[in-house]
A and B are shown apart, each in its own frame.
Chain A
Amino acid sequence: MIANFGFGVLVITFLVTLYSVFAAIYGERKKIPAMVESARRAMLLTWPLLTLTASILIYLLVNDHYEVQFVYEVTSRSMPTYLKVTAWWGGQAGSLLFWSWLMSAFASLVTLRKWDRDREFLPWVIVVACVTMAFFIGMTVFFESPFAQLYQMSTGVEAHTFQPANSILFIPQDGNGLNPLLRHPGMVIHPPMLYLGFVSFVIPYAFAMAALITGRTDDRWIRLTRRWTLWAWMFLSFGLVLGGRWAYDVLGWGGYWGWDPVEIAAFMPWLTGTAFLHSVMIQEKRGLLKHWNMLLIILTYDLVIFGTFLTRSGVLSSVHAFAQSAIGPLFMGFVSATLVASVALIIYRWDSLKSETEMTSLLSREALFLLNNLLFMSILVVCFWGVIFPLISELFTGQTVTVGPPFYERATGPLFATLMFLMGIAPLSAWGHSTVKTIGRAIWKPIVGALIMTAIIFATYTRNAIALVGFFLIALVILVTIYEYWRGANARQKSQGENIFAAFWNLTGRNRRRYGGYIIHLSMMLMAIGILGIELFQVETQGALEVNQQMSVGGYDVVYQDIAQFQGPDGREVTRAVLSVYKGGEYLGELNPRIDYYYDAQQTMTIPGQRSTLRDDLYILLVDWEPASATGATFKIFVNPLVNWLWLGSLLFLVGIVIAAWPEKDAERVAVHSNARVQQQTSAAD
């Protein structure tokens, strides 16, 4: 009954989104503002409706309604309540509903803004947002209902939305339980972050389409969505980092990124989104690349949908799984239709998107940003090809192949290195024009500094050529960024008589986007230190130990002390080892790698014992053990140098993006202040 009610609300929401689309188009075409307003209100209604739907689903999940197929598949009686709630996005049908719910929240937020100056965008933003929403809600209504119930039929138990004739409701005693891999705190926030990133990129896309349809193709749509884009990028970036942390803590393979197609599916819109973030600045400052920016936001939107398709259709396991459910062809159709329609709009508005000025120098900031775009797109090409190559191979040759880390690392390594080099030069170039001489004059000091640091690393840490090139580039970017900060703060210190801290603070406050961006560059370099460390210097060993026996790796000595088995509170059997860790004879503490066996899902999880420092992580996995004697166990030990810098970098990244996306005072109002002159010059310079 409750499930049927939930399904009913879902159907009503679907109809409301369709109404919103048609009312917006009709109101706009017939010039009836009341219709457009009606469409806006209908769109605002979707969020409370989907919240009600989601609440019903959560009620079913928390109260063990196993007659509902989705509840049966993702929960069990032994799961704690918070996990039953987060199981909402632990399965296909629920995650589609979750996507729709977030989308409706963002669409509502955007329609609540003041539209006075941009009223012509409103109907088309509604159309794009509601078409996207209708697609996802439609998917849950027609193909993947989270409210389908189990019925006992003469042929067996089947799931149906409506009770078939000659059947009775089937209520299992317990559910399958959530996949143990998803029962981790990281998984509680990783998917919402990623989905937030995905859905919030729909908003700039909706504005871009509105700009193309209305013909208002100046940079107004970019200015309106600048902050949306930054938040979208933040959510997506942080979602990716959280996914990496979850993999590191839960998957038990000693790393954070395995170039898995699912990871790449989320990484691809990040690549185009990052290129877009840089590229829109060229349009804002110089009126260039309007076609390109449109194309980038279209690509980002379609990669978001394509990524969801890749992970949801089953196509990754086999190209033949694509046709097994209706989801795959529908997603493919939606991606193709939106891509074709969007590109057709660009072609239609081609002339009005022409650049206002010309590029004047190969070393100008806009030219370097274009190079940056080329590199991001090249990485995208590698990733896209890596993901679809197995499908193409299977389709044309019948041979299934795997494209694993060696391909991606070899192909993207030089591209990432060049990107870092650009990150070192670009902040020193000026909009409009720069020359080798002007950049050379600014960069020689950071280069000398970076060379000295590389020499120290060569003398004390490593002689690996790739690592040295990497550390040189990291040092260069960090020094250039600090140098840029120092130049700005120093100038403020002199002109305003401020102390250095106030100068830094005010400098950042005056131009949050630029200096927030620099902090993001710094954070990326901290992450690069972690990536270089683990990729190039990770050492590992595996071996069986008897009690009190020792194994050594990377300067650590590990002594196996004991192993114990006990029942966990949430339906799992825990096998936990005790190991003492020493370095240079000094006792550092105890680590407890463990294996959790979940009875309901009949699956094991290997949880590492970790000791983290800025220098390295000691990461121990319990691989195997002998239940009979409990005296022998096999351990795999990793020493992951510098990996903590990756997580530290991600925290600094958050700081940077909050600074960059923080609302600035309205430039028009700022101009009337007493020190207006300096401020106007500041904004003119940037």
Chain B
Amino acid sequence: MNRIVSLISGIIFGIGLTVSQMIDPAKVLGFLNIFGDWDPSLAFVMIGALIVSSPFFHLFKSNKKPFFADSFSYSNNKELNKKLIIGSSLFGAGWGLTGLCPGPAIASLALLNNSSIVFVVAMFIGFYLAKFFDLTTQAR
């Protein structure tokens, strides 16, 4: 059953990115262009997502186990450190250059767009590099 949930969650997430147009990097760049012609839509995407997901975490985190798995698995890392700031800054720079972040970039592979493919391949190389240099943080 958890396999089906994984697939369905992915599909719903991908539809959400499409409905909200966040799949289009131009729309994301419009949000980051706060000092120019600003498109606040991305903020509404986040508000919509948080309104739905937040109550779930707070209602069910005291449950002993999830429906289709033995335990909840996420880290409770609370450390605010250099890696958090440096990593987020590198990500922010790449995001601002193109308007692409991991979710929309992967979802846009559906459109068989060469630019998305180049970005996603480079992003996967970036994942490997972080792993290779042992920078990976498994936590939020």
- Whether both chains belong to one complex is answered with no
- List chain B positions with a Cβ less than 8 A from chain A: none
